[in-house]
Structure 1
């Protein structure tokens, strides 16, 4: 009897030792080129942040972690591998994320949307572009035309809402075809497509590369959009501490981006090839989108809207209980463990703030509605100016000095979104002040109502040079 008891105890001890020495897989699917996922993938991986937060005590005392990373160009194949059990975590936008939830249910499984990573309650990030040589200046001119879009993406949802807002029938008044971003880029270059709708960062990347022009920003559709992180529900139940560790690594990645956006924009370019100036457009202060890890009501609604649109597209006939699918317990725990106030963040809608001095006068900038910025190649920091006219005056001097200009930014006077200034339209009022707009139509409407002249970037630059 004593021997049997001893053997049983020994067996239990061996089992406990094996459990504590368990090799725990942490398989994470990333979308590196979808740069708004950076704080949930690329930066965590490249900076080795996850190791800092993985639990190493209690049941994890002797755990051996096997961290696996796999990069994807879109959410659909990432979802396929999550459903197949090959991945534990994934980062993607609201539309593919919602489809991820549906696909798991179809397979008798469950995934959880555990955090937002970056987004816009206005809808910025998605956009529509045309070839650079196109005469089209606004969406209203695309009736009867062909518009390509990655199907069942967040950009597809934006396009359908934008078409509906025009009062058009999406099956009769426009021809919508499926086209991936990498194919669309080539088609735009060779004028083989009349317009293309896409998600982050392509509606800014293609214009920045000079072969496309943005004619519609997702904020005009007034539909919130975001990218976020998901996890397999069974995995989260088994290893909640690892889920929290992953999110804490994401919190640190977000903080690093906020502190040094130029530096980490450069890192993203090094890994993905997407120019740092485009990364800064999103991740820098007062950026096109706001990095935000909290589940604001607008982002919850974006998930519900995505599911409804997926039904409309006949990609699913299944509903999804967003109250169960969106699970904020892990991000709340991660905030607490990181010494942060989640509820305070939940109520904060402000973009990443900017504390800066005018590069010409040295005076603090207090009004950011007319902020303009210049990034000179070879300089670690973006230069800030209190007005577009000040930035353009400085630009003329920099060009005379032979400086290579990476990017010029301006804040839109109506929507407040950050623009690539060389793609923008401007109105010069009676006081000589410039106001920036995304579209020619917006600038002309403002000029008619308030006085002034609508000018493209080249024209306004020439006028300023002539007045020097």
Structure 2
């Protein structure tokens, strides 16, 4: 089984463009602000690719933190997991929220980006769940079963590692590459026995399912996954202040959650159209880090001495190479070059 390759074609460009117009929450500035942006050699518009997740970026979007911090027009474009990297490659977006496995594959495959922020360390927010009537009570019971997850994502990586750790070959199961809406539809039809999914789809699956394994369980086995933010290197080098201001915006969301949890939870609940109780449950399924915490050795480290994030991405790449998902042996230097703590450092000055 091979992971999806990045495909650049006219149809994809058309879809991304349509998404930018139809799905994006574009917000305009006044003509005076646009003139100011032009005079300061700022971009006329910043395109931020996101996914439907209960995290700090979602709060920043809903609260308008990006517009306030960046000072230019901001276009928010929502994607499913498989499409967002294609838009990044084509230059249709400047920033992208990616799972650590997807970011790793992109970096190892030559996509010229910098990793600038960890949105969350994943735990109970991502789980391998099975149908209540599937008679699956252990990992060994998955043999011969049908399992769905989006390929080239944190859930896919965790699923493959879980199978490997339990001595189960990929040939012993049937894997389906599905996005979250497709997974839920297949689940309701009874077409699949299990799925490794994230919120908010995860909560819907659990209405008729049970947890077999979580990403928290996997992290305790040394398989750590996260959602990260990457930015096109060309964009970052031309507009480093914009990247720093992006960091300020999402860190403002973290501070809001830490200082006024009720407001942050309500913001997520309204955005995802779920109850506040459910929003809090989903948020607590992962670990949010402040800018100061991100600079600790366990994560980004500093510009002078980069932290464990580099090794974590390299370990993920080694696994993907073994799975034949990337074509060449990944070098540690590739990930050292792609992890850039300087924007977080500058945001804290």
Q: Give the CA deviation at 1:84.
A: 1.2
Q: Which residue among 71, 75, 82 is the counterpart of 2:88?
A: 82
Q: Give the CA deviation at 1:274.
A: 4.5
User: Is the alpha carbon distance of 1:179 and 1:54 closer, same or farther for their aligned partners in structure 2, counting shifts above 3 Å?
Assistant: closer
Q: Which residue among 24, 27, 40 is the counterpart of 1:20?
A: 40
The TM-score with structure 1 as length reference comes to: 0.58
In structure 2, the partner of 1:191 is 190
Matches of 2:102 and 2:263 in 1, distance apart?
30
CA contact (8 A) 1:282 1:290 kept: no
Matches of 1:259 and 1:326 in 2, distance apart?
29
Q: Give the CA deviation at 1:205.
A: 4.3
User: Is the alpha carbon distance of 1:331 and 1:18 closer, same or farther for their aligned partners in structure 2, counting shifts above 3 Å?
Assistant: closer
Matches of 1:150 and 1:100 in 2, distance apart?
15
Q: Which residue among 115, 120, 134 is the counterpart of 1:113?
A: 115
The TM-score with structure 2 as length reference comes to: 0.76
1:326 aligns with 2:339: yes
Q: Which moved more, 1:128-137 or 1:90-99?
A: 128-137
CA contact (8 A) 2:321 2:327 kept: yes
Name the structure with the higher helix share.
Answer: 2
Deviations 1:270-327 (A, max 9, x none): 22235543331242xxx32210251514543332233223323433214351100111
Q: Which residue among 188, 210, 215 is the counterpart of 1:213?
A: 210
Contiguous gaps of at least 5 residues in structure 2: 1-35, 300-306
Q: Which residue among 302, 318, 323 is the counterpart of 1:308?
A: 318
CA contact (8 A) 2:105 2:317 kept: yes
CA contact (8 A) 1:224 1:299 kept: no
Q: Which residue among 100, 105, 108 is the counterpart of 1:99?
A: 105
Q: Which residue among 60, 68, 82 is the counterpart of 1:52?
A: 68
In structure 1, the partner of 2:286 is 289
CA contact (8 A) 1:152 1:313 kept: no
Q: Give the CA deviation at 1:113.
A: 0.4
1:73 aligns with 2:80: yes
CA contact (8 A) 1:95 1:152 kept: yes
**Residue correspondence of structure 1 range 293-442 to structure 2 within 5 A:** 293=291, 294=294, 296=299, 297-318=307-328, 319=330, 321-334=334-347, 336-337=348-349
CA contact (8 A) 1:34 1:73 kept: no
- Secondary structure of 2:77's aligned partner: strand
Q: Give the CA deviation at 1:155.
A: 0.7
Instruction: Give the greater-gyration-radius structure (CA).
Output: 1
Deviations 1:392-439 (A, max 9, x none): xxxxxxxxxxxxxxxxxxxxxxxxxxxxxxxxxxxxxxxxxxxxxxxx
Q: Which ranges of 4 or more aligned residues in structure 1 deviate by more than 6 Å?
A: none
User: Is the alpha carbon distance of 1:186 and 1:240 closer, same or farther for their aligned partners in structure 2, counting shifts above 3 Å?
Assistant: same
Matches of 1:268 and 1:303 in 2, distance apart?
29
Matches of 2:345 and 2:37 in 1, distance apart?
32
CA contact (8 A) 2:49 2:78 kept: yes
- Secondary structure of 1:86's aligned partner: coil
User: Is the alpha carbon distance of 1:194 and 1:51 closer, same or farther for their aligned partners in structure 2, counting shifts above 3 Å?
Assistant: closer
Q: Give the CA deviation at 1:25.
A: 2.3
Q: Which moved more, 1:190-199 or 1:82-91?
A: 190-199
- Secondary structure of 1:268's aligned partner: helix
CA contact (8 A) 2:320 2:326 kept: yes
User: Is the alpha carbon distance of 1:267 and 1:164 closer, same or farther for their aligned partners in structure 2, counting shifts above 3 Å?
Assistant: same
In structure 2, the partner of 1:258 is 258
Contiguous gaps of at least 5 residues in structure 1: 1-15, 56-64, 338-468
- Secondary structure of 1:184's aligned partner: helix
